[in-house]
Structures are given as structure tokens and as C-alpha cells.
Structure 1
């Protein structure tokens, strides 16, 4: 059994910050935990815009606080994100994620699992690290 407290993740090497400060990702389960997925709490800062395109990973996201929007760059469709909304990037969907009027708190699952070292490159991609 694995039990972790978010308080023991914050301000450690398992809390990764966006290079431009738009988000922080608190990585609770990683590849080394051998669960077949990784599990994160991500805080999207209010009034920010992040370009994301996970070419190497699928992601499911559940909002548990705050608000924002997600824009599908293929279709131009914009969806509101708020407490209770889930979205899944099942087609490696390129998108913009917008922070709303307050910070947004998201629970995220990645497949394949992240190692913990990943950060977005200039194209919004997490590299595939073996």
C-alpha cells in the first residue's frame, strides 16, 4: 500500500513549477511507484495561459477547485473548467489551458507515468523519459 500526504510533497523535488510560473505540479505517484500511471495535483495560477501538447502521454484531469477554460486547438472549441468538471486528452489533444479568476486545483493522471523530471518544452510537450 502507498500512502502519501501532499504536505510532504510541497516544496520538495516532487513539486515542479512551470518555467514561466503559470502552474505547479505536485507529483504524488510516479513511474517508480509501479502503478502503471502517475498521479498529480496541479495548481493553475489565475489569469494565465499555458500551451500544452502531450504527444507522448494521455492525461485525464478532474477539477476540484477554482475555475478556468480549456481550448482545443484542432477544433477551436472552448470548455469551461470548474469544480466537478473532468476532461481527458485521449487523442494527445493540443490545447491552451487558461487560469480563471482564481487559482484552479486539478487532479491529473498520466499514462505512461511520468518519472518526475518532466517539464514542458517549447512546444508544450513532456518528453518520454525511460
Structure 2
């Protein structure tokens, strides 16, 4: 059994802050936990817009708190995000995530992330990270 607390993980290398300071993600479950998916609590800072295009991963995102919107770039549709909303990127959807207030999100990735990933210039996480995250 694996047991972790968000508070402990936030004080470790499991907390990753984006280079542009738009978001932070605390990775509670990672590839080296051997569950086949990863689980993160992500905070999107208020009044930011983040371009994301997970070409190598599928993601489900559940809004715990805050308000914002996600715009799918292939069709320009804007979906409001508020507590209780889940959006599922089942087609590697390229999108813009906008936070009107600070968003707190629970995120699941398949395949699992190693823990060190940040978005590249195209909004993509690499499929494999060279250095594995420690437990």
C-alpha cells in the first residue's frame, strides 16, 4: 500500500512549478509507483492562460475549486470550468486553459508521468523523462 499526504508531497521534489509561473503540480502518484497512471493536484494561478497539447498522454481533469475555462483549439469551443466539472482529453486535444480565479484541479495521466515534466514550447509533455522521480 502507498500512503502519501498532499502536504508532505508539496514540501518535496514532487512539487513542480512551471517555468512561466502559471501553474504548479504536486505529483502524488508517479510512473515508478507502478500503477499505470499518475495522479496530481495542480494549481493554475489566477488570470493566466496556458497552452497545452498532450500528444503523448491522455488526461482527465476534475475541478476542486476556482473558476476558469478550457478552449479546444480544433473547434474554438469554450467550456466553463467550476467546482464539480470534469473534462477529459480523450483525443489528445490541443487546448487553452484559462484561470479566472485560482483553479485547484485533480489530474490523472495515462501513461503515467515520471514527475519531472513541464510543458515544452508546443504545450507537450515528453513521453519519457530521462531521470526518474524518486519516491
* TM-score normalised by the chain length of structure 1: 0.97
Name the structure 2 match of 1:15.
Answer: 15
Measured in 1, the distance between the counterparts of 2:103 and 2:58 equals 20
Match of 1:123 in 2: 122
2:109 corresponds to: 110
Q: Can you give the 5+ residue segments of structure 1 that lack an aligned partner in the other structure? A: none
Residue segments in structure 2 that go unaligned for 5+ positions in a row: 130-135
| Whole-angstrom CA distance in 2 between matches of 1:34 and 1:78 | 35
d(CA) in 1 for partners of 2:126, 2:7 = 27
Q: CA RMSD in A?
A: 0.8
TM-score when normalising by structure 2: 0.94
Output aligned runs, 1:96-107, within 5 Å: 96-100=96-100, 102-107=101-106
- Runs of 4+ in structure 1 over 6 Å off: none
Count of residue pairs the alignment pairs up: 129
